[in-house]
Structure 1
Amino acid sequence: MRLPEIERGDDLRHRALIRIISAVSGIRLPDAARVAFYDRAFAGPALGAWTQRALRGPSTWSVSERELMASMVATWNSCPFCIGAHRAVAVKGMDPEIADAVLTDYRTAPIPERLRAALAFLERMTTAPAELDTDDARRALAAGVTVDELRDAAAVGTIFNVIARYANALDFEIPSVEEFDTAAGMLLKRGYS
């Protein structure tokens, strides 16, 4: 369901901000940012801070690896907006062919085993949460994922299980590849909160 207030802004100040940011960036302000302006009590500071911590906070996972995790969780949630947005950020720090191979099939992609194991854990967490158990965690740990890395991956999975469903429910518009690329540069510079 597309809310007109998200498209145009819910008050004069937000309408002006949306227009100014869109004009300065040269792209339509993505719906994720529009929602943050619209619903400050939910999607603004709290969701932004949670996303910032999961994707940019201290971790031995790189920003690109965590963005790729977000894109994979979005894939399992069938969320084209989040797939495109977070793939665009991931490829700012990794080979686009590797990112695309992961998005096609992480099991056969040329990635480190610990990343593959974290993605397997996230897949189970996303697609069969009632079946997720200690054996899934043990498999990830046996593949070289540390407890902190598993916790960090689970944080990315948790927030993107929320965000992908939110984006789908609000029918986020899908930007062009160029717009995703421009927005990715802004996300790397400004972050999520």
Structure 2
Amino acid sequence: MPHITVDARMPGIFGLFNYRPETAKPLLEFCEALLRDENSLSRGERELIAGHVSNLNASPFCANGHFAIAAAQLNNGEAIVDGVRSRSTDTAISPKMKALLDIATKVTADGKTVEDSDVAKAREAGAAERDVHDAVLIAAAFAMFNRYVDGLNAVVPEDPNFYRSMAAGLISQGYVAGVHSKTERQPS
């Protein structure tokens, strides 16, 4: 049960956004820019980083949601997500993504542990400066989002179909429109 009064039919961050729409708006715009705007990293790759960080933070709503969005946007997405979720070294992702996920892992634990050698490894694997920047920013942002959702004990659906449906809506409509439509209408 959430620590504050939110619409119980609006799980996870949706209920929290509905509770404070004035704070939801800039957060959603931030997500739209960070995860969906034009970028050298695909939308699926950026969502994979968000899911990875959320998984490391043991934040099931955010991990399940962002992994579902990533899986839907990546070739062989389910297998990639399963590999990243389980921290398999055999996951079929590029050396660049492996290096960026390693950087995100360090940021999740303590940003000060990212070293020049981590950035050099990512660059050697083809990462641009913006890729490194965005991997760090996604990791830092999702530490905040994870603590927001978990700190208020938001409802976490167990049905994987919820996350697939949510992913489809966010992929087609974006964060600002997709989440606002979820918070403005009453879920069935």
How far residue 79 of structure 1 moved from its aligned partner, in angstroms, is 0.4
Report the counterpart of residue 2 of structure 2 in structure 1.
Answer: 2
Report the counterpart of residue 81 of structure 1 in structure 2.
Answer: 61
Q: Deviations over 1:74-116 (max 9, x none)?
A: 0111101111111111111222112111211153311110000
Q: Distance in 1 between matches of 2:10 and 2:69?
A: 16
Whether the 8 Å contact between 1:106 and 1:119 is mirrored in structure 2 is no
Unmatched segments (≥5 aa) in structure 2: 177-188
Q: Distance in 2 between matches of 1:59 and 1:151?
A: 12
Whether the 8 Å contact between 2:15 and 2:154 is mirrored in structure 1 is no
4+ runs of 1 displaced by more than 6 Å? none
Is 1:38 the equivalent of 2:15?
Answer: no
Q: Distance in 2 between matches of 1:75 and 1:161?
A: 10
Q: Deviations over 1:44-75 (max 9, x none)?
A: 11111111111101111111111111000001
> Kindly, what percent of the aligned residue pairs are identical?
25
Greater relative contact order (Cα 8 A, min sep 6): structure 1 or 2? 2
Q: Please give the TM-score of this superposition, normalised by the length of structure 1.
A: 0.82
Unmatched segments (≥5 aa) in structure 1: 9-27
- Residue correspondences, number: 173
Please identify the structure whose Cα radius of gyration is greater.
Answer: 1
Q: Distance in 1 between matches of 2:88 and 2:103?
A: 12
Whether the 8 Å contact between 1:67 and 1:86 is mirrored in structure 2 is yes
Whether the 8 Å contact between 1:122 and 1:157 is mirrored in structure 2 is yes
SS at match of 2:136: helix
Is 1:181 the equivalent of 2:164?
Answer: yes
Aligned pairs for 1:141-160 within 5 A:
141-160=123-142
Q: Please give the TM-score of this superposition, normalised by the length of structure 2.
A: 0.84
Whether the 8 Å contact between 1:114 and 1:143 is mirrored in structure 2 is yes
Q: Distance in 2 between matches of 1:4 and 1:124?
A: 32
Q: Distance in 2 between matches of 1:31 and 1:99?
A: 20
Report the counterpart of residue 129 of structure 1 in structure 2.
Answer: 111
